Amino acid sequence: EVQLVESGGGLVQPGGSLRLSCAASGFTFGSYWMSWVRQAPGKGLEWVANIKQDGGEENYVGSVKGRFTISRDNAKNSLYLQMNSLRAEDTGLYYCARDWGHYFRFRYYYYGMDVWGQGATVTVSS
Amino acid sequence: QSVLTQPPSASGTPGQRVTISCSGSSSNIGSNSVNWYQQLPGAAPRLLIYSNNQRPSGVPDRFSGSKSGTSASLAISGLQSEDEADYYCAAWDDSMRVFGGGTKLTVL
């Protein structure tokens, strides 16, 4: 069964740090871009970051640049999100998601996030 | 304020056809394909439409997507009670993924 399971969420004070993990199973993890998407309580979805198959490219939403770092360990089938200098507005449910797409003639054709985890809750509060 | 604009709510009765719009710009919808996601209450999002109008396996053909210029639409025909959910459009904008603010669909 294709599955993503997040862990590492919790309560942290403003300015603190937290590291989320996402364990992948049931598919060839190293063949996919991977993303983190978050959802503040009662709000909509916000894409946070993604990372290329080999870890050689990362992209971030502006509000987390310089504070968050996405990384992966293909040998462990795991995705990570290191979150530093956390703010109250970072509070929410953080989803790990698989980016579905394929390369053809040096171009990447992106289809969407087709597998999602159940989410990890991050609460930033004093 | 989301980069992609969706109506906050929509509604319909069972069996009806409803459409949800998603408005963007030349830098996102105008130059990239659109996804639609369904999020049932208390659940993770689910990919509903990719490449503007394609359905992943397992998605009923009651769901259809379209795109024209800088706007896109999701249509749901033969509305069912289990379609009551939040729906989000998404597209690439430069190297960032952007979502619409979401539309809450109520089945009356």
Residue carrying the six token digits 């200098």: A85
**pLDDT, tens digit only, all 108 positions of chain B:** 788 999 999 999 999 999 999 999 999 999 999 999 999 999 999 999 999 999 999 999 999 999 999 999 999 999 999 999 999 999 999 889 999 999 999 999
- Report the C-alpha gap between B51 and B35 in whole angstroms: 6
Which of helix, strand or coil describes residue B99? strand
What beta strand segments (E) does A1-126 contain? Answer: 3-7, 10-12, 18-25, 33-39, 45-51, 58-60, 68-73, 78-83, 92-104, 107-116, 120-124
| Per-residue pLDDT tens over the stretch A29-78 | 999 999 999 999 999 999 999 999 999 999 999 999 999 999 999 999 99
- Report the C-alpha gap between A22 and A111 in whole angstroms: 21
Query: From the candidates B1, B6, B47, which should be mutated to test the interface with A, based on the most A CB atoms within 10 A?
Result: B47
Interval A68-96 mean pLDDT = 98
**Chain A residues touching residue B105 (CB < 8 angstroms):** none
**Chain A residues touching residue B56 (CB < 8 angstroms):** 112, 114
- Report the C-alpha gap between B48 and B57 in whole angstroms: 9
| Per-residue pLDDT tens over the stretch A16-32 | 999 999 999 999 999 99
Whether residue B99 and residue A47 make contact (CB cut-off 8 A), yes or no, is yes
pLDDT value at residue A102: 87
Helices and strands (DSSP H and E) totals, chain B? 0, 9
DSSP strand pairing (B103-107 vs B9-12): parallel
Q: Which of A117, A32, A19, A34 is nearest to A68 (CA)?
A: A19
Phi-psi region of A97 (alpha: psi -120 to 50; beta: other; left: phi over 0): beta
Nearest to A47 among B47, B54, B96 (CB): B96
DSSP strand pairing (A120-124 vs A10-12): parallel
